[in-house]
């Protein structure tokens, strides 16, 4: 489950120690300098909150660095889409953060095995996806909790998304948007050829997914967990890692749950 709740500050009052991190663009750097001049600067280890200045891609990078740490992250949009970001700098940052809503996110853990036998593990807060490396379509088998559910899927690829990531690549691949509280993981094919009408599945968040690559020599496949790409995989295991988490802050009435719900009514 990805929980939504009011933030809890170590001091019991408004936070006062901030780490301001900025994407490598002029607007973000200017905003960082202004905020440091006003509130001071601490390391993420010392801070009560990390203030991320940038877009969704930069926010995802920062959230990865904060996995397993209790310090929440508040984003201010200096990028393009800004789905994970808040729109503007609040007048009084400490008091404003007291009124925010916190979303606790748990990542997916990807474990890949390549043709050479190399095993790689990586975490994904958005999604784990597999895709064909050549002109040949991928041919894969999908197991869920040790049972073969799809003996042969011919496709460009397949993905498993977190609820928070269900509005990203998953949505572009015509997968369902999943509320944070739903305890579900969308499993979505990417350009499925056979079976042509299969649109994917909604899995419980406890599901253990194993994707086996069929005809891997003829139809090589790569796997990606957010920023980690592994090529020439022969099997990929995907499951939610409940032992890892990170916390994201949103303005009042603009929680991540509300944004995910509103996205379903966007035309």
DSSP assignment letter at 214: T
Domains of the chain (ranges; CATH) run 4-106+245-263 (3.40.50.10330), 108-240 (2.60.200.30)
What is the per-residue pLDDT for 3?
A: 64
What is the per-residue pLDDT for 1?
A: 45
What is the per-residue pLDDT for 82?
A: 80
Name residues whose C-beta falls within 8 Å of residue 242's C-beta, 6 or more positions apart in sequence: 106
What tens digit of pLDDT does each residue of 209-233 get?
999 999 999 999 999 999 999 999 9
CA-based torsion, 3, 6, 9, 11: positive or negative: negative
Q: Under a CB-based contact definition with an 8 Å cutoff, are residues 96 and 241 in contact? A: no
Name the binding residues for NAD(+): 56-57, 126-127, 156, 164, 167-172
Name the binding residues: 56-57, 126-127, 156, 164, 167-172
What is the per-residue pLDDT for 46?
A: 94
Gap between the Cα atoms of 65 and 87, Å rounded? 23
> Which pTM value belongs to this model?
0.89
Q: Under a CB-based contact definition with an 8 Å cutoff, are residues 177 and 264 in contact? A: yes
Which is the catalytic residue, given 56, 145, 226, 251? 56
Gap between the Cα atoms of 70 and 247, Å rounded? 7
10-residue stretch averages of pLDDT, the chain, 267 residues long: 69 89 95 96 95 94 94 91 86 93 94 98 97 97 98 97 93 91 93 93 97 97 97 98 94 81 79
Looking up tokens 């994407």, which residue turns up?
23
Name the phi and psi angles at 14, rounded to 5: -75, 140
Q: Is 56 a catalytic residue?
A: yes
Pair of tokens at residue 231 = 């090529």
Gap between the Cα atoms of 235 and 213, Å rounded? 6
Other beta carbons less than 10 A from residue 43's beta carbon:
9
What is the per-residue pLDDT for 110?
A: 98
Cα dihedral 11, 16, 19, 24 in deg (nearest 10): 140
Pair of tokens at residue 24 = 């490598």
Gap between the Cα atoms of 222 and 170, Å rounded? 17
Radius of gyration of the chain measured on its C-alpha atoms: 20
């Amino acid at each position: 489950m990805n929980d939504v709740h009011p933030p809890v500050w170590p001091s019991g009052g408004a936070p006062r120690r901030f780490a301001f991190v900025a994407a490598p663009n002029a607007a973000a750097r200017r905003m960082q300098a202004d905020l440091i001049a006003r509130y001071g600067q601490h390391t993420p280890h010392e801070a009560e909150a990390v203030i991320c200045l940038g877009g969704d891609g930069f926010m995802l990078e920062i959230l990865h660095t904060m996995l397993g740490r209790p310090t929440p992250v508040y984003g201010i949009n200096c990028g393009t889409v800004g789905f994970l970001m808040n729109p503007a700098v609040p007048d009084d940052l400490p008091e404003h953060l007291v009124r925010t809503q916190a979303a606790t996110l748990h990542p997916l853990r990807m474990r890949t095995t390549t043709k050479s036998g190399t095993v790689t593990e990586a975490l994904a807060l958005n999604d784990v996806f597999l895709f064909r490396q050549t002109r040949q379509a991928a041919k894969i088998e999908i197991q869920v909790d040790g049972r073969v559910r799809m003996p042969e899927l011919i496709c460009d690829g397949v993905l498993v998304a977190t609820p928070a990531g269900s509005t990203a690549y998953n949505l572009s691949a015509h997968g369902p948007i999943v509320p944070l509280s739903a305890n579900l993981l969308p499993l979505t094919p990417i350009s499925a050829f056979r079976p042509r009408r299969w649109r994917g599945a909604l899995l419980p968040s406890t599901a253990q997914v194993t994707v086996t690559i069929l005809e891997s020599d003829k139809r090589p496949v790569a796997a990606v967990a957010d920023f980690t790409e592994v090529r020439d995989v022969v099997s990929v295991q995907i499951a939610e890692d409940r032992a890892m988490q990170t916390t994201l802050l949103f303005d009042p009435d603009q929680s991540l749950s509300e944004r995910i719900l509103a996205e379903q009514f966007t035309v």
